[in-house]
Amino acid sequence: MHSGILRARQTAVFVAFFLLLTFLLLRLLYLQTVKHSFYARIANQQHIVEIELPPKRGTIFDRRMRVLAVNFNTDSVYANPRIMDDKRDAAIRLAAALNLSAGDVYARLRRDKAFVWIKRKVTPAESSRVKGLKIEGVDFVKESKRFYPNSSLACHIMGAVDIDNKGLEGLELLNDRYLKGKSGCLISAQDARRKLLQSYQNEFIPPKNGHSLVLTIDEVIQNIAERELFKMYDKYHAKGASIVVMNPKNGDILALANFPNFDLNDHGRRPADSVRNRAINDFFEPGSVFKVITASGLLEEKAVSLNDTFFCENGEYKIGSKTLHDVHPYGTLTFKQVIEKSSNIGTIKAASLLGPERMYKYVKAFGFGDTTGIDLPGEVAGIARPPSKWSKISMNAIPMGQEVTVTAMQLACAISVIADNGYLVRPRIVKAIIDEKGETVKEFPAIVRRKVITPETAALMRYILKGVVDNGTGRKAKIEEYTTGGKTGTGQKVEPSGGYSHDKFTASFIGFVPAEKPAMAIAVCVDEPRVVYYGGDVAAPVFRNVADQTLKYLRAKR
Amino acid sequence: MKLSKWLLSIIVAVAISLLYVHQQVELVKLSYSIDCKEAALKYMLDRRARAGYNVNNLEAPSRLENALLAQKIEVAYPKRAQIVKGTPSPIRMAKAGAKSATRLRTAAVEKRSFLTGFFEFFGIGAEAFAKEK
């Protein structure tokens, strides 16, 4: 009996354990087969990580392969609020180290997240200050940041990028698709501390770094242009100023500068009036520089010859109810002298031999009323109305540069026509796009848009414009060692209420050097210089200084 | 017999398992090592990029001008008449051709071999050679 009870108990325990084991085995089978995908997904989420590998943004070089814009890594500060104890104290200390508002930082730290940005792309000084604080939960991650070694040099050409290295303006915007590159991808396992285990790498697609730009800009010439332009801009307290230095043969822009300008490394805090690229964004009535177009048209159509004479009414010429004035009273002048001395009366009388249709033809042929096609964003075309929209007095205004609006870039291209034997070239800033290894990906050849005037007419114009500098209003553009040709201009600005201003002018000088075989065409335009406002006094000296130093630099380089 | 076969199988299985574990441990160690080396490479590349940036910054024309101004040093370009061209540049020498280059080299202070001298004696530039004494 006793042994029977014992055997029964043994059987009961055996059955109980057997059932338990069976249950466990069935449970194991269930988890390993039926629920396999569910738990495998959770495990992969924890252990497998997909990381985007950001590409390196392309570099921007000048024509001598000097770096103008480059990327490298900087620290960005983040925090894990979930593991932070005293958030208020951390916020105060971080705000002090990073020049931020303590309230903003505290608001971020109060979020229930494992990752919040405190400040991205900090300076090395800020980074070392934060490291010195040794705050639990605060760490760094490397991010690529754009730097410009020359600060404000060619700022309007380069443009700017945003915090994520996306182009916003200028060449950075226009060529963003070449510069940005393509992200890569890394799928790999990670350990419990989120350290990558690259031996368990599933997939690796390397990033394609961005291509680089090679510009036509010369860093040294750009610096010369900016320095000389700033001296004048500061001296005459001008509202704005622009200069374009161009190779007339192939359209290479050697320098393009505007004032006011800004620091490319701190563009977030730049003043509003420094943003725009005045050389292509601003249009104005050019004044007497436009007589170059009128004279070219007259000579090309053989409507005048150099020695034809015009009576300049001793400085006052009544046309209907209006009176046209010259700056100085002149009697009879030859056509050459009319341009040299910039007589408005002589010009109008000569232009009447051309007529509206032919005048408009040359205005358009020289590129006015159209964009130049330069590879920079935001270019405006200016205004050049067809004769059907002209008033009765337009033929007395347009030949001397009124009722037509132009940009500094258009003026540079126009004077390049004279310098390059009558051909209008398209200006270019980007010479080539190269890859990481320096191989050319894309080239931008020089483009000749059209023939505007014959080489003979261009030679005559160069002779006349040389006379402007030797004997006329452009004497302050004369260079000691080289012959120069050019034209001065002092355009009246239009008042908001209508009518021309008597105290607001745009002073300009457009020219080329050397006069016989031009290597360089330069346009200088100054918006509202104070006290002194004539083109010959304000803009011509800038031309002289830039041309002189640039030629000496190019000679030394050779 | 049966027992020893069974025991052998267990020992082999354990050995293989241990080998597998060792392999995995080495893989993980390798991963950490790769990680460290990659971080070091990134750091060096960054430093190189920064050094390049600093050099560009130091060579910036505006910075050089300001530095000269601060030292009250006035630098001016020479006038055309002040420039005198001396020895041709190496690039020009290469372009002039190997023969010309050879002649120019022998015109400098170098000992000429007998054979060189013999052949060049009959060459075009023989009169132009400087004799070393």
CATH label of the domain that carries residue A162: 3.90.1310.10
* Domain end among A30, A49, A68: A49
Burial of A542 (0-12, 13-18, 19+ CB in 10 A): buried
pLDDT of residue B131: 37
Q: Are residues B85 and B107 in the same domain?
A: yes
| Contacts made by residues A194-200, CB under 8 angstroms, sequence distance 24+ | A194/A49, A195/B31, A195/B32, A195/B35, A196/A49, A196/A51, A196/B31, A196/B35, A197/B27, A197/B28, A197/B31, A198/B31, A198/B34, A198/B35, A199/B27, A199/B28, A199/B30, A199/B31, A199/B34, A200/B27, A200/B31
Residue A512 has pLDDT above 50, yes or no: yes
Interface test mutation site (partner A, options B24, B46, B56, B74, max chain A beta carbons within 10 A): B56
The residue to which tokens 């510069």 are assigned: A179
Q: What is the mean pLDDT of residues A46-71?
A: 91
- Would you place residue B105 in the very low, low, confident or very high pLDDT band (cuts 50, 70, 90)? low
- Would you place residue A3 in the very low, low, confident or very high pLDDT band (cuts 50, 70, 90)? confident
Q: Are residues B50 and B98 in the same domain?
A: no
β pairing state of A196-197 and A203-205: unpaired
> Is residue B1 in some structural domain?
no
Bridge partners, A143 (sequence order): A74
Q: Are residues A142 and A210 in the same domain?
A: yes
> Is residue B75 in some structural domain?
no
A227 to chain B, any CB pair closer than 8 A? The answer is yes
Percent of chain B exceeding pLDDT 90 equals 21
Highest mean pLDDT among A285-294, B96-105, B109-118: A285-294
Burial of A92 (0-12, 13-18, 19+ CB in 10 A): middle
- Would you place residue B117 in the very low, low, confident or very high pLDDT band (cuts 50, 70, 90)? low
The upper half-sphere exposure of residue A468, i.e. CA atoms within 13 Å in the direction of its Cβ, equals: 34
> Is residue B121 in some structural domain?
yes
Residue A102 has pLDDT above 60, yes or no: yes
Of all residues in chain A, the one with the smallest CA distance to B91 is A558
How far is the C-alpha of B57 from the C-alpha of B44, rounded, in Å?
Answer: 20
Give me the number of domains chain B comprises: 2
> Is residue A268 in some structural domain?
no
Q: Are residues A239 and A146 in the same domain?
A: no
Q: Are residues B40 and B64 in the same domain?
A: yes
> Is residue B4 in some structural domain?
no
pLDDT of residue A478: 95
Residue B79 has pLDDT above 80, yes or no: no
A286: distance to nearest CA of chain B, Å?
A: 31
What's this model's pTM, rounded to 2 decimal places? 0.83
DSSP H/E element including B115: helix B114-121
Of all residues in chain B, the one with the smallest CA distance to A73 is B46
A200 to chain B, any CB pair closer than 8 A? The answer is yes
Could you please report the per-residue DSSP string of A168-233? EEHHHHHTHHHHS-B-EEEEEEE-TT--EEGGG--EEE--BPPPEEEES--HHHHHHHHHHHHHHH
Percent of chain A exceeding pLDDT 90 equals 78
Least confident of A236-250, A529-543, B119-133: B119-133
The residue to which tokens 């325990």 are assigned: A13
Of all residues in chain B, the one with the smallest CA distance to A555 is B80
Mean pLDDT for all residues in chain B: 75
A142 to chain B, any CB pair closer than 8 A? The answer is yes
Q: Are residues B66 and B14 in the same domain?
A: yes
Q: Are residues B21 and B63 in the same domain?
A: yes
Mean pLDDT for all residues in chain A: 93
Q: What is the mean pLDDT of residues A154-172?
A: 93
Of all residues in chain A, the one with the smallest CA distance to B38 is A198
The CA distances from residue A399 to A415, A469, A509, B34, in Å, are 16, 21, 17, 73
Among residues A152, A212, A242, A288, the one annotated as catalytic is A288
- Would you place residue A327 in the very low, low, confident or very high pLDDT band (cuts 50, 70, 90)? confident
pLDDT of residue B100: 55
How far is the C-alpha of A130 from the C-alpha of A142, rounded, in Å?
Answer: 14
Give me the number of domains chain A comprises: 3
B111: distance to nearest CA of chain A, Å?
A: 33
Q: Are residues A311 and A439 in the same domain?
A: yes
Q: Are residues A210 and A229 in the same domain?
A: no
pLDDT of residue A535: 93
Residue A411 has pLDDT above 80, yes or no: yes
Q: A142 to chain B: which residues are within 8 Å by CB?
A: 42, 46
* Domain end among B28, B52, B70: B70
DSSP 3-state assignment of B73?
coil
pLDDT of residue B118: 54
CATH number at residue A505: 3.40.710.10
> Is residue B124 in some structural domain?
yes
DSSP H/E element including A470: helix A455-471
Q: What is the mean pLDDT of residues A285-295?
A: 96
Range of the domain at B93: 80-128
CB contact under 8 A, B61 and A481: no
The CA distances from residue B100 to B96, B109, B124, in Å, are 6, 16, 10
Range of the domain at A189: 52-215
Interface test mutation site (partner B, options A141, A150, A230, max chain B beta carbons within 10 A): A150
Residue B92 has pLDDT above 80, yes or no: no
What residues have CB less than 8 Å from A203, skipping those under 6 apart? A185, A186, A187
Does the active-site annotation cover A288? yes
> Is residue A24 in some structural domain?
yes
Residue B133 has pLDDT above 50, yes or no: no
Comparing A441 with B114, the larger pLDDT belongs to A441
A523: distance to nearest CA of chain B, Å?
A: 22
Q: Are residues A180 and A244 in the same domain?
A: no
Q: Are residues A107 and A192 in the same domain?
A: yes
Q: Are residues B14 and B64 in the same domain?
A: yes
Q: Are residues A315 and A458 in the same domain?
A: yes
Residue B88 has pLDDT above 70, yes or no: no
> Is residue B3 in some structural domain?
no
Which amino acid type is present at position A451? K
Q: Are residues B66 and B19 in the same domain?
A: yes
Q: Are residues A119 and A179 in the same domain?
A: yes
- Would you place residue A192 in the very low, low, confident or very high pLDDT band (cuts 50, 70, 90)? confident
Could you please report the per-residue DSSP string of A406-427? B-HHHHHHHHHHHHTTTEEE--
pLDDT of residue B129: 42
**ipTM for the predicted complex:** 0.74
Q: What is the mean pLDDT of residues A306-312?
A: 93
> Is residue A267 in some structural domain?
no
DSSP 3-state assignment of A77?
strand
pLDDT of residue B108: 42
Q: Are residues A174 and A287 in the same domain?
A: no
CB contact under 8 A, A153 and B62: yes
